[in-house]
Amino acid sequence: MANFSLVNNLSSQAAQSRLGSTNAQLNQTLQRLSSGLRINKSGDDAAGLAIANSFRSDISILSQGVRNANDGLSTLQIIDGGLNTISGLLDRAASLASQSASGTFTGDRNTLQAELSSVLGEIDRQAQNIGLGGAGGTDEGRFNRAINVFIGGGANASAAGNSVAVDLSSSRVDKTGLSLTNINIGQGTGNVTGAQDISAGLTAAEVFTFQNVGSSGQLSSFTVTLSAGASASNVIDAINNDANAQAAGIQASLDTGNALVLSSSSFFTVSSDVADGAGQTGIGGASAAADDVAISGSANSQALAVNGAAGTPATQTLSFSGEQIGFSGSSKDVSFTAAVTAAAGATAAAAAVNNDVELRAAGVFAVINKADSSEVSIVSLKDFNLGVSSTSTVAADNNIDTLQTQTAVTGATVTGGEQGGKDALGFIQAAVGILGSVQGKVGAGQNNLVQAIDLASAQITNFQAAESAIRDADIAVEASNLARLNTLQQAGVSALAQANQSSQAILALLR
């Protein structure tokens, strides 16, 4: 049985409690409707909030991953554009080589070679710009490596599946990477000279002395100095970047055995100031006398020992003949007197040849072997015959002996003219294959990145849906709750008013 009390209005207290609960629910509903979120504080759903935050972190990672992939795709598109241009340059190089390879070509093949050199130079420049080649042959390019583009989406950030690998290692596309450093489609022919393996670098400082035919028709010389410890690439750069070597058309590269290869379409000789020996990497081979002066050019050459000896110097005569050098049906004799020392004898022999106007005009030159100063090499880009005679009757004074014909050389052969054009076509076709392989890598990388972007975009959508299901408010439900709670609030206020009036009814018992 309920008690009637003036002290405690229990009905009012119950109405206040219910009204307070209704107001709290109404405030929560208004907050959800105004924010659009079901979870506005940790107390709303702590477990759900932790899961939703994990989804939101995944979305943030994947969104940046998509931007990373787009950046990578842009980089590959730039590289691809450069590769397409290089492909066009190779087409031009093939056209020039094909023109030189024709036996009916009557123009100046040196003009073709000059344009080919320009084309190869442009290939180098473009390869450097797209990051797949370097200046001077030292830099293989900033993108000539395995590239990992981070995308995300996996459970472990360091897992391989979170990145797209684009392997562009061994993708050098300058003339060195395309193996186009030793092609010659110009006039005449040219052998190249090689040395022992220099991949480990030079063990001592070394000076290379080059002798070549200058633009004036005179035999000139220049040196290239290499420091101790110079790497193979340092040696290549020192020679290829030397202004005198460039003017002489001399190029340096490495053959498949890592031996130094020197080439030119014009006559040149090279020697080193370092004596050959065990463990010494120099320009010479195992035999200094055979290799220290190597002749470039498909020329006849005679290596002659001028062995001076005590006694009356004898008069020596060198007789030159050869249809290709303009002495068909007759010969050109050059006489000199050998001195009593080997060095002086070689000097006299070389001077007699090089000072002769007709021989110089015919392109015949004499060079003293630096490694063996008693030896003179007589060379020409054209075929010639050489006879040797002496007026001496004393064996010790008969100091010119024919030692060998073509000086032995090692390394590849760079043949100019018609055959050179055919050889160049083979190199260029191989280069097209190398370039195609690099383009295949770039194309595969582009496709992989596009597919990765598609997957990451789908994952972002799914993660957003999952987060939304946990975190976002159901507006329809909350709107219904708003109407219900508004009604309850109004009813509660009315009930509280009625409860507050109940005490007045008790006073009627006291009247």
Q: From start to end of 92-205, where are the E strands?
A: 146-150, 163-167, 190-197
For 422, the token pair is 């055919």
Rounded CA-CA distance 467/432 in Å is 52
Does 408 share its domain with 429?
no
List own/partner pairs for 421-426 with CB under 8 A and 24 or more apart. Answer: 421/97, 421/98, 421/99, 421/100, 421/101, 421/102, 421/109, 421/112, 421/185, 422/97, 422/101, 423/183, 424/93, 424/97, 424/100, 424/101, 424/116, 424/183, 424/184, 424/185, 425/94, 425/97, 425/98, 425/101
Give the closest residue to 61 by CA, choosing from 155, 147, 160.
155
**Hunting for tokens 């989406």 — which residue is that?**
153
Residue 502 in domain = yes
Torsion of CA 51, 53, 58, 59, to 10 degrees: 120
Torsion of CA 37, 38, 41, 45, to 10 degrees: -150
Q: What is the pLDDT of residue 446?
A: 94
Does 445 share its domain with 487?
no
Strand order, beta sheet including 251-254: 251-254, 259-263, 190-197, 413-414
State which of 393, 414, 435 marks the end of a domain. Answer: 414
Q: What is the pLDDT of residue 290?
A: 34
Rounded CA-CA distance 252/238 in Å is 9
Distance of alpha carbon 215 from the chain centroid: 35
Q: What is the pLDDT of residue 70?
A: 94
Strand partners for 159: none
Quote the DSSP letter at residue 217.
S
Rounded CA-CA distance 209/293 in Å is 10
Does 165 share its domain with 203?
no
SS3 109: helix
Does 479 share its domain with 387?
no
Does 482 share its domain with 377?
no
Rounded CA-CA distance 80/493 in Å is 75
Residues 6+ apart with CB under 8 A from 209: 221, 222, 223, 270, 271, 272, 273, 370
Does 81 share its domain with 16?
no
Structural contact between residues 212 and 220, judged by C-beta atoms closer than 8 angstroms: yes
Residue 431 in domain = yes
Structural domains of the chain, count: 3
Rounded CA-CA distance 79/285 in Å is 42
Q: What is the pLDDT of residue 24?
A: 84
| Global pTM value | 0.53
Does 311 share its domain with 441?
no
Does 358 share its domain with 485?
no
Structural contact between residues 380 and 325, judged by C-beta atoms closer than 8 angstroms: yes
Residue 44 in domain = no
Does 377 share its domain with 431?
no
Does 122 share its domain with 169?
yes
List own/partner pairs for 119-125 with CB under 8 A and 24 or more apart. Answer: 119/89, 119/92, 119/93, 120/93, 120/175, 120/180, 122/89, 123/86, 123/89, 123/90, 123/173, 123/174, 123/175, 123/178, 123/180, 124/174, 124/175
State which of 374, 393, 414 marks the end of a domain. Answer: 414
Residue 432 in domain = yes
Residue 318 in domain = yes
**250-260 pLDDT, tens per residue?**
878 776 667 77
Q: What is the pLDDT of residue 448?
A: 93
The residue segments making up the domain with residue 367 are 190-414
Residue 297 in domain = yes
Give the closest residue to 181 by CA, choosing from 247, 90, 255.
255
Q: 294's torsion region: left (phi>0), alpha (psi -120 to 50) or beta?
A: beta
Does 124 share its domain with 173?
yes
CATH number of the domain within which 82 lies: 1.20.1330.10
pLDDT in tens, the chain (511 residues): 556 666 677 788 888 888 888 888 888 888 888 888 888 888 878 888 888 888 898 899 999 999 999 999 999 999 999 999 999 999 999 999 999 888 888 888 878 888 888 898 899 899 999 999 876 555 678 888 888 999 887 766 666 678 899 999 889 898 888 888 767 787 654 444 555 567 777 777 777 777 766 555 556 778 888 887 788 888 888 888 898 888 777 878 776 667 777 776 566 666 666 654 433 334 443 333 333 333 333 345 555 655 554 445 556 666 666 555 555 555 676 766 665 565 666 777 778 877 777 777 666 777 776 656 667 777 766 656 666 555 444 333 333 333 222 223 333 344 567 877 888 898 899 999 999 999 999 999 999 999 999 999 999 999 989 888 888 888 888 888 888 888 888 888 888 888 777 777 777 777 6
Residue 155 in domain = yes
Strand partners for 223: 209
Does 274 share its domain with 163?
no
**Do you know the residue count of the chain?**
511
Q: What is the pLDDT of residue 135?
A: 60
Quote the DSSP letter at residue 2.
P
Query: Counting beta carbons within 10 angstroms of the beta carbon of residue 312, is it exposed (0 to 12), middle (13 to 18) or buried (19 or more)?
Result: exposed
Phi first, then psi: give them for residue 131, nearest 5 degrees: 80, 20
Residue 400 in domain = yes
